[in-house]
Structures are given as structure tokens and as C-alpha cells.
A and B are shown apart, each in its own frame.
Chain A
Amino acid sequence: MVLLAISRPSLASEATGNGTEHTITTLPIVIWKWEEIHFPYLVALWVLVSWLCKLVFQLNPCLTRVIPESGLLICIGWVLGGIIYGADKVQTFRLQPFTFFFYLLPQIVLDAGYSMPNKLFFGNLGAILVYAVIGTCWNAATLGLALWGCWLGGAMGNIDTGLLQLLLFGSLIAAVDPVAVIAVFEEVHVNEVLYILVFGESLLNDGVTVVLFNVFDAFVSLGGAQIDAVEIIKGIISFFVVAVGGSLVGVVFALLISLLTRCTKNIQIIEPGFIFVLGYLSYLTAEMLSLSAILSCTFCGVCCQKYINANMDERSVSTVRSTMKVFANGSETIIFVFLGISAIDPSIWVWNTAFILLTLLFIFVFRFIGVFLLTWILNQYRLVPLDFIDQLVMGYGGLRGAVAYGLVLLLDENKYKEKKLMISTTLIVVYFTVMLQGITMKPLVTWLKVKRAAVSERTLAEKIQNRTFDHMLVAIEDISGQIGDNYMRDKWNNFEEKWLYWLLMTPIARKSCDPIFNIFHKLNIKDATSYVKEGERRGSLAFVRNENKADVDFNKKFGADFSEMIRDSVPSVCLDMHEQDLKMRESEDFDAHHLLQQHLYKGRKQHRHRYSRKQLEVNKDEHEVQEIFQRTMRSRLESFKSAKMGVAPPKKISKHLKKDQPQKVREACTFSSFPLVFITIFLEFSEGDSASGYEAAGGSFPMRAYRGAGIVNPAFMAEMDTMDPMPPMQQIPSWLAETEVDSSNMVPSQRAQLRLPWTPSNLRRLAPLCLSTHSNDSFLLADSPATQEGISELPPPPPPQDGQGQGTHK
């Protein structure tokens, strides 16, 4: 992109300082120093004002539900612009392209890359590229040509433009804008695939936009006569160079960041800073080389997230995440406010109804045509076709935004006589898409789905049935076809494990890259913090140590919302035995419907759109999924044990991460890694906020790591002492080796103790949280009736799988 000198606005009405110019005659006590500091002061003030705007309309929640935030910010921008204009009679503050492209955009893109769900992104990369490249070219070409046709036909009156200029205009307005897409789709929860397609497209089409912009700009400079085949071929080549080059720059910087974080163990204080600086440098470097800066920044974030999240200390990771969100959100706010302000400036407005209306029309129409066409082609090759509704939403979601505005401001007035017209049109288009399409997006999405919804479930049986079917379908889908076993993906995973981990991650990180360990670790931390919280709430941590009266009230833990609603009818989850008995009597007539509503596990397809810009995580889904997982594993263990009780302890428990020990795994007897894997996975697993997904892996690691790990959960350390230090590969979880109650020394997770069903009927399960050497694992208590049932009914116990192929990284 062409750099323009900043034309810094200066306030016309400011008071001029007097200190520096006159010789002083007496000691001034206080000087008015506006002149010196006015620039940073204004910047800070504007940032503050923009962010305050966000606060202002949050006060009125019904407004935000209807109009997307971005729209509201633009409106406030109009108001502010009006005020300033009224005061100064000239628009002193505008969104300067340089400021936009170099100070406001990079962090948004970096944040987008860093929090990109990688699995989804790379899984759909083909489709994304098709939409980004071919779709944008199509949009640009058709728009330019259509406008040219109309111009030739005289519909626009007398404007001084030509085919190339119109093509240029087409190219800059054709691109779907990442900022606008994020802003609007954030609030509309569409399914993951749809989201990633639109979002990915908006990011990757920068490559095309840059190329087209430069190419047409150059063509306009050269003049129409000079364009021959050579130039056109050069244009095509430049596309590849720009796009691929930009991405490579990003990847290089990602490598740099990863390597750097490998060494920054001792400077954890400023470790997070490196990410930002290097991310920004990747943007600037690509810009310097006239490659695509957005692509560079995106790929930098995308490629490095896994490694830096593993390498850095947790606090650094959360610092990075939070700070990125602050920057990105803040920039977005500022951008939209200034988009509004910039409009209140009569000097830029040139109104040509035909041009504007035609542009709007063509954008819309050609976007839809493009989407439908491309999707039709893609659906031939895609194994999960995109259906009509998704295509509609995708077409409708082609929002234009600030990037187009920034680009149009970069045009040279002398070459483009109609620059003002283009600016005006761009602004109108941006407003139209952001506000109108933004406002109607949510209702549209809801309407398209609601239209087909039938009567709500009236009976319990229906509800249960429906939910069963949900789960069933999801399961069948998983069984029949899933990303995991893709050849390419396996190859990449192997390569990654072999080389990249070694290169880019610290040794500790490499070990703990094992997701089981990660989970285990997180679990312990969570347990510890929740205990402390509970203790503080109750005034002291003494309850933790009280063996007899386990009356920790876990009501709070599981969400106050539902408990408030059903508090009277459903007994709260209180472990106080006496209270419990009484309450049970009263609760005979609770609302079964309500219960089902609240407590049925949602099917996976209802977990939508976790990739939120405004929130850092979505906890509820993870919770549920973890719980299901735990239970599945427990029940598998159950069935396994019940079938193989009394048999000699397994020879080989561990599951090997490295591929170079396949033989051992193969020879593993039937008692090998399976139950251990599941016991340890038992605890929890996370979908991976860094999108690394669940990977079944190392059985023995958590054991070993638990001992050696720095995470010491003091309340539970007592359990550890009794554990024998067995060689890692042969560590047998004691509840596997013996089926007796007293065997377990090592409890995989205190959470497991907590999470066991809190039914008052089985008091033994509700043993206190620590210090007992009993196993509190209810499934070891063979006398419990519920589990007996469970044992007999489960499918034939699955003997353990060999660990080999578990590199199914999703």
C-alpha cells in the first residue's frame, strides 16, 4: 500500500502556548503547555472518548440487542463529528489511512490470528481460499465491469473515470472486511463452519485486495495503452508473490516468536510483550516488502499460538490473551467511532445517486451470485456440503468496512478525479453493510431457523427422545467420518512431533504438551482455587480438614442461575447429610420438565460458536463435555474391571507418545494402556482453548508428572506419600491392580471425588476431600447398587486399544 504522509490535524481553536516564544520576565509558577503535548493528549483523549462511547450504549441493553455494537459506535461517531464540526466548522479529526493501517489494524489482525481455531481453519482452508481468492476476484471484476457498463450507458452522468479506475474501485470495495465481520458475527451465533468460512475469507482476501489494488493502481498510472499481456502476467505473478510471500513472512515471525519464548524463562515479566512486538514487526515487515501485511500477521498468530501457549508460563499466556483482546477490541471501537466522525465532513461528499445506488445494488447482487456459484462448485468436492441457508447467511455476511475506506483514502487525487465520489460511495456502502446488514443479520438467522421449527416438546418422552436422537446422530457422524484420520493430517502431526516440538518448545513444555497432563494440571489448579474460594466464603479453610462433616455447599459451583430458579423444588447440592434427608422428603413433586431442561446434556451441535471476541472462554460447554467424558471413561473402566477382575496386573500400562516404540505397544497384553489412558483422561479434557483439541495420549505421564510437577496442591499432597515410585512405564494405578477398597493411594483427581454423584443414598461417596487413604472412587465400592447396574448393562468391555495410532490430532 502506498504510504501517505500524515496530515496531522491541528486544532484551529486551540490557545497558543506562550511559554516558549517570549522571553520571560518573571518566574512562571504554572505554564500552559498545550503546544508541547497536544498530540499525545489528543490521541489519549480520543481513545478515551471512543471507549467511553462503548460504555454509554451498554447502559441500554435493549439497544445493543437490536443494533450491533459497531452500528451504535458509528452513530455516536456521527454525533461527535457533528459536535466537532459545529465547533470548528471543519472536520479536524478524521480517520487517517496511515493511522488506520499502522496503528489500529495490526492488533485486530494479530488477535484474529492468535485466537483462530486452528483445526477448523485448516480443515476448511480449501473452501476459505476459494472464497477469498476467486470470490474476491469475481466481486471486483463484476462490480467494476458493471459500473463501467452503466457509466458507458450514461446512467451516472458525467463523471471523469474510466474502466481501470472503476475496476480499482471495484477491487477495493469488493473485499469482505474482517473488522466488520468480527463485529457483527460476534453477536450472531452461527455454527462454527459458517463462521470460519466467512471469517477466514475476510482475513485471507487481503492478499487479493492488495494485489488488485496495486495492479490496477499501476495500470492507471501506466495508462491504458501500456497494458499488454506481459503486464497482465506480471499482475498474476504478483498475486502469488504477494500472497505467498506475506504468509511466509508471517510464518517466519511465528518461528521467531516460538524460539524466543523458548528462552525467555527468566524474563517472564516481559515475555508477553515479545508476542506483540514481533507480531507487529511481522505486519510491518510484510508492508515494507510490499507483501500482504494482513496475511503475514494472521499467519504469524495462527502458527505460533500452539507453541507459545505451551512454552510460556500460564500467567504470561493469560496476559497475552487478555491484552490482545483489549487492544483488538479497543482498536475496533476506535475505528468505528472514527468511521462515524469522518462522515461529518462536507468537503468529502460528492453525491451521485446513480453511482451510489448502483454500487450498493451490484455489491449485493454479485456477492450472492458469487457465493452461490462458488458453493455449488465447492459442494461437488466438499464432503459435507453447505446448505442453502448457510449460503444465504454467507452471502449476506459479506460486510465491507474500514479497510475499504482506508484504501480509498489512499488514492491519489490527481490520478483519480472522482476520488471524492468514491470516498462518499465507500462510506455509504460501509454504513449500509455494517448497520443495515448488521441489524438484520440476527433476525435473519433466527428467522431462517425458526421458520422451520415445529411445536415445542410437550412431553418428557419427547424431550428425551429428541435429545437421544441428537446424541445418536452426532455419534454416527463421528463413527462414519471425521477429520482425524486424514493422511495429510497424520503426516503433519508426525512432522510436527518429530521436528517442531524439538525445535520450538522448551523441554518442559514438550512433556507437558501432553494434553492429559495439561488437563490434570488445570484441574488441580481449579480445584485449589475453588477450595480457597469456598473457604473464604465460609470464613475459614477449616472445613477442608474436617473429616466428619462434609458440608461443603457446592451450590455455588454449578451456577447460581438454575439453582435460583429451582431452589425451592430441587434440593440444593449440599452435602450436609441431615439437611439432605429432610429436603428429599419435600422434593417429591419437582418439575421434571424443568429438570430435564436444565440438566440434559446438550448435543455437540448445540455448542456453537465458541470463538468469541468478547469473551475469552466458554466454560459451560467445556464443563459438560468434561463431565460426559469422565463418566464415559469411568464406565468403560467399570466394565473393563468387571470383566477382567482378578486377573494379573497388566504388563504394560503406558501408552507411548513416540512412534518409535510400536512393538511394545503392539505386544501389550489385553490389559494395556486402555484403562489407564482412560483413567487418567478420566479427569477432564479440554477442547483446547488454543484449539489443539483432545488427543488421547500418555498414560503414565500424568502419574509421573504429578509427582514431579511444580503444581502442588497442598490439600491433597497427603495422598501422594503413599504412592510407590514405580518406574513410569509400569506404573499401575492401584485401583486397577486390586479391586479392593483400600488400594487406592493415588487419586487421579480430587475433582473426581467431588464430582461423584451426590446422592444421599450413598454416603460413602461423599467422603471428605482429602486426607483419607480410602479410595473415594465410588466405582471401587463394589457394593453400590447403581454401579452394579451400570456394569451389567454396558457393552462388552472394550479391551484397550493400542496407543499407536492415537496421534489423531483434530
Chain B
Amino acid sequence: MGSTNSTLSKIPNVEELMEETGFTPAHIVRLYDRFEALDKEKTGHLRPQDFGAINRLAMNPIGDRIIGAFFSPGQETVDFHSFVRILAHFRPADKKHPKDPSMPEPVNSRTSKLKFAFQLYDQDKDGKISRAELLQVLRSMLEMQVTEEQLESIADRTIQEADLDNDDAISFEEFRKVPLGRARRLTYQHGPLQHSAPRILSQPHRK
């Protein structure tokens, strides 16, 4: 489509991006439109408050953490490439490409999604989810009637369950091992015009 091509040409290094992330041109264009819509001051970068403008994120208990995950440590802004790269983790999986063990992990593999989720917990980026970090996440995800004692108890038990090497923290390997009971398709439906609740279509995931 004409408009796709013209938009694509506005984006620098777009082929590289598509190659790396596996998005189709149409997807990239949509994401670009979305990026521009969020970037109200047209700086070419997104800042946290631009994300803050998304109202529905405020309704999400871990919304702010997710916003944070878009920004690499130390960075104050995110440009389009990084934006797309992160969203690429959640791109629907390719059905066409056969699983080739010698190739590097595709960017939207299950592992990268889990890594992203791990980041949400591990705010200080030390590679482990400490009890305190877990407690924070729990606190944000539980309703307010739950008392501190209860929260701490839950956190303790969770660490007990998941922590295999007894270091009182959850490393990424241990994190991976937690089975997602309800098998889920860890993708999102993206599109600026329609919004519908994602389905939990699932085939049981085997690790």
C-alpha cells in the first residue's frame, strides 16, 4: 500500500528492524503510528510520561513497572527501535519458520517473554528476585485489604516453593521452571483501531 511504503521510508533502518523483530511492514507501520500518537511532542523519543498518558495502563496493577521495563537502565527515553524491539517479544509466533536449534532464539520466543516478565520483578537488575522485590510485586497485585503480615507470608511461601537452590531468592532459571498452569499464548493482539480482550487460546506449553 502506498501509505505503508511512505511511512516505512520515514523510519530509519527499517529493514534491519523488520529482520530483527520479524514484524511485517504493515505491523511496523501500525506501531509507528502508535509511537507517533504517543509521542505528542514529536521528539522522536518517548518518555515515561508519554506512557503515562495511556489511561488504561493506570488501571493495571503493574502498569508502571511495565512502563519502566521499556527504558533501559539509565536511559530516560526510548526511541522507536527500542519500542519495537520490546513489543517484538510479544509478537505472535511464526508458524512458518521451522524450529531450528542452531539458530539464535527468535526474539519472541517464550524465553524472551519470560525474561521480560522477570525484569518486571527484578527492579535492581541483579538477576535475582529477592524477597523484598517479590513483596512489592505482590503488594501491587493484591487488593488493599490484605495486611502486611499476610503479604509477607505469601512471599515467604512463594519463595519456598520456587527457590530450588535455597538462596532465598528466585533466579531466572528457577523463574522459568514455574509452570504456567493455564497454558497461554503469550502474545497480544495489536492494532490501533480495534481493541478486544485477548483470548486465552492455549495449547499446553511444554518446556
Interface residues of A, Cβ cutoff 8 Å to B: 123-124, 191-193, 382-385, 387, 389-390, 449, 452-469, 471-486, 558, 570-571, 573, 584, 587-588, 590, 592, 595-596, 598-601, 604-605, 608, 624-625, 627-629, 631-633, 635-636, 666, 674, 678, 681, 694-696, 755-761, 786, 789-790, 793-802, 804-806, 808, 810
Q: A452 near B202 (CB under 8 angstroms)?
A: yes
Q: Is B141 in contact with A801, judged by CB distance below 8 angstroms? A: no
Closest to B116 in A: A472
Distance of A123 Cα from B195 Cα, bound (Å): 8
> A459–B197 contact, CB under 8 A?
no
The 3 closest A-B pairs by CB, nearest first: A383-B191, A795-B68, A485-B37
Asked whether, in the complex, the Cβ of A459 is within 8 Å of the Cβ of B178, the reply is yes
CB distance from A609 to the nearest CB of B (A): 10
B63 lies within 8 A of A632 (CB):
yes
Contact A486 B150 (CB under 8 A): no
Name B residues whose Cβ lies closer than 8 Å to a Cβ of A.
Answer: 30-31, 34, 37-38, 40-41, 47-68, 70-71, 76, 87, 90, 116-117, 120-121, 123-124, 132-133, 136-150, 153-154, 157-158, 161-162, 178-184, 186-204
Rounded to whole Å, the gap between the CB of A732 and the closest CB of chain B is: 19
Query: Closest approach, in angstroms, between the C-beta of A754 and any C-beta of chain B?
Result: 10
Q: Are B49 and A483 in contact (CB under 8 A)?
A: no
Asked if residues A455 and B181 are in contact (CB atoms below 8 Å), the reply is: yes
A476 touches B90 (CB 8 A): yes
- Residues of the B chain whose Cβ atoms lie less than 8 Å from the Cβ of A471: 60-63, 141
CB distance A475 to B62 under 8 Å? yes
Interchain CA distance A798-B54 in the complex, whole Å: 13
Q: Is the Cβ of B197 less than 8 Å from the Cβ of A800?
A: no
Determine the chain B residues whose CB is within 8 A of the CB of A461 once the complex forms: 158, 161-162, 178
Residue among A601, A681, A802, A808 with max Cβ neighbours from chain B (10 Å): A601
A458-B181 contact, Cβ under 8 Å, with A476-B87, A600-B142, A633-B58: yes
Complex contacts, A596 vs chain B, CB 8 Å: 142, 154
Contact B202 A478 (CB under 8 A): no
B143 shortest CB reach to chain A, Å = 4
Decide: A558 near B145, CB < 8 A? Known: A382-B194, A625-B59, A802-B41.
yes
Among residues of B, the one whose C-beta sits closest to the C-beta of A456 is B181
A657 CA / B203 CA spacing, docked (Å): 47
With contact pairs A485-B34, A601-B61 given, residues A474 and B53 touching in the complex (Cβ less than 8 Å)? no
The winner among B123, B158, B195 for most chain A CB atoms within 10 A is B195
Contact in complex: B196, A384 (CB < 8 Å): yes
In the complex, A193 Cα to B67 Cα: how many Å? 27
* Pair B49/A674 contact, Cβ less than 8 Å: yes
Contact of B67 among A460, A674, A795 (CB under 8 A): A795
Answer whether A453 and B120 are a contact pair too, CB < 8 Å, given A192-B197, A760-B147: no
**Complex Cα–Cα for A395 and B55 (A):** 34
Taking CB atoms, residues of chain A closer than 8 Å to B189 are: 383-385, 477, 481
Using known A-B contacts A477-B190, A478-B57, determine if residue A191 contacts B197 with beta carbons closer than 8 Å.
Answer: yes
Question: Could you tell me the distance between the alpha carbons of A755 and B144 in the complex, rounded to whole angstroms?
Answer: 7
The residues of A that contact B154 with a CB separation of less than 8 Å are: 460, 592, 595-596
Contact B59 A604 (CB under 8 A): yes
A478 and B64 form a contact (CB under 8 A): no
Which A residues touch B49, using CB under 8 A? Answer: 674, 798-801
Q: Is the CB of B158 within 8 A of A468?
A: no
Give the distance to chain A from B147, nearest Cβ to Cβ, in Å. Answer: 5
Assuming the A-B contacts A462-B178, A464-B158, A605-B197, are A469 and B184 also in contact, with contact meaning beta carbons closer than 8 angstroms in the complex? yes
- Closest residue of chain A to B175, judged by CB? A465
Residues of A close to B138: CB separation below 8 A: 464
Apart from A595-B142, A759-B147: 6 A-B pairs, beta carbons within 8 A: A387-B201, A389-B199, A471-B60, A475-B62, A755-B144, A801-B49
Please give me the residue from chain B that is nearest to A193 by CB atom.
Answer: B196
Give the complex CA separation of A463 and B186 in angstroms.
Answer: 16
Chain B residues, Cβ within 8 Å of A666 = 41
CB-defined contacts of A789 to chain B, threshold 8 Å:
132, 136
Contact A632 B150 (CB under 8 A): no
| A481 / chain B contacts, CB cutoff of 8 Å | 30-31, 34, 189-192, 195
Chain A positions within 8 Å of B51 at CB level: 479, 798
Q: Closest B-chain residue to A795, C-beta based?
A: B68
Contact B141 A601 (CB under 8 A): yes
Q: Are B66 and A472 in contact (CB under 8 A)?
A: yes
Bound Cα distance from A589 to B187, whole angstroms: 38
Counting chain B CB atoms within 10 Å of each CB, the highest count among A384, A387, A598 belongs to A384
Give every chain A residue within 8 A of B162 (Cβ-Cβ): 459, 461
**B60 contact set on A, CB distance < 8 A:** 471, 474-475, 478, 604, 628, 632
Which residues in A have their C-beta under 8 angstroms from that of B193? 123, 383, 483, 486
**Contact assessment for B197 and A599 in the assembled complex, using a CB-CB cutoff below 8 Å:** no
- Name the residue of chain A whose CB is nearest to the CB of B30: A481
Question: Which residue of A has the minimal Cβ distance to B40?
Answer: A805
Other-chain contact of B47, A192, A590, A799 (Cβ < 8 Å): A799
Separation in Å of the B63 CB from the closest CB of chain A? Answer: 5
Q: Is the CB–CB distance between A460 and B158 below 8 Å?
A: yes
Set of chain A residues within 8 Å of B63, measured between Cβ atoms: 471, 475, 632
Q: Is the CB of B54 within 8 A of A790?
A: no
Contacting residue for B181 out of A462, A479, A587, CB 8 A: A462
A798 cross-chain contacts in B, Cβ below 8 A: 47-49, 51-52, 67
Let me know if B158 and A796 touch, CB within 8 A. no
In the complex the two chains form, what is the Cα distance from A193 to B198 in whole Å? Answer: 10
* Nearest CB of chain A from residue B47's CB, rounded to whole Å: 7
CA distance A473 to B31 in the complex (A): 16
Q: A574 to nearest B CB, angstroms?
A: 11
Q: In the complex, what residues of A have CB within 8 A of residue B179's CB? A: 462
Q: Output the nearest chain A residue to B76 by Cβ-Cβ distance.
A: A796
In angstroms, Cα B29 to Cα A508, docked, is 43
Interface pairs (21), CB distance under 8 Å? A191-B199, A192-B197, A383-B193, A449-B200, A459-B161, A460-B157, A460-B158, A461-B158, A464-B138, A466-B180, A468-B141, A479-B51, A481-B30, A481-B191, A485-B38, A595-B142, A600-B143, A636-B52, A756-B144, A790-B136, A810-B56
Task: Let me know if A599 and B65 touch, CB within 8 A.
Answer: no
Query: Which B residues lie within 8 Å of A793 (CB)?
Result: 123-124, 133, 136
Smallest Cβ distance from B182 to chain A, in angstroms? 6
Please indicate the chain B residues that have their CB under 8 angstroms from the CB of A123 in the complex.
193-195
Measured CB to CB, the nearest residue on chain A to B159 is A461
In the complex the two chains form, what is the Cα distance from A570 to B154 in whole Å? 13
For B40, give its contact among A457, A486, A595, A801 (CB under 8 Å).
A801
Report yes or no: B180 in contact with A465, Cβ–Cβ below 8 A.
yes
Q: Would you call A628 and B136 a contact (CB within 8 A)?
A: no
Q: Which residues of B contact A452 (CB under 8 A)?
A: 183, 201-203
In whole angstroms, what is the CA distance A573 to B190 when docked? 41
In the complex, which residues of chain A have a beta carbon less than 8 angstroms from the beta carbon of B183? Answer: 452, 454
Q: Please state if A584 and B149 are interface contacts (CB–CB under 8 Å).
A: yes
Q: How far is the CA of A674 from the CA of B184 in the complex (A)?
A: 36
Task: Give the residues in chain B near A601, CB-CB below 8 Å.
Answer: 61, 141-143
| Residues of B close to A484: CB separation below 8 A | 54-55
Residue of B nearest to A554 (CB): B145
A674 and B57 contacting across the interface, CB-CB below 8 Å? no
Return A471 CB to nearest CB of chain B, in Å.
Answer: 5
Are the CB atoms of B59 and A804 closer together than 8 Å? no
- Which residues of the other chain, A, contact B201 by a CB distance below 8 angstroms? 387, 389, 452
Q: For residue A275, give the distance in angstroms from its CB to the closest CB of chain B.
A: 30
- Which partner residue on chain A sits nearest B177 by CB separation? A461
A595 touches B54 (CB 8 A): no
B192 touches A599 (CB 8 A): no
Are A482 and B56 in contact, CB atoms less than 8 angstroms apart?
yes
Nearest to A467 among chain B residues (CB) is: B141
Q: Is the beta-carbon distance between A628 and B30 smaller than 8 angstroms?
A: no
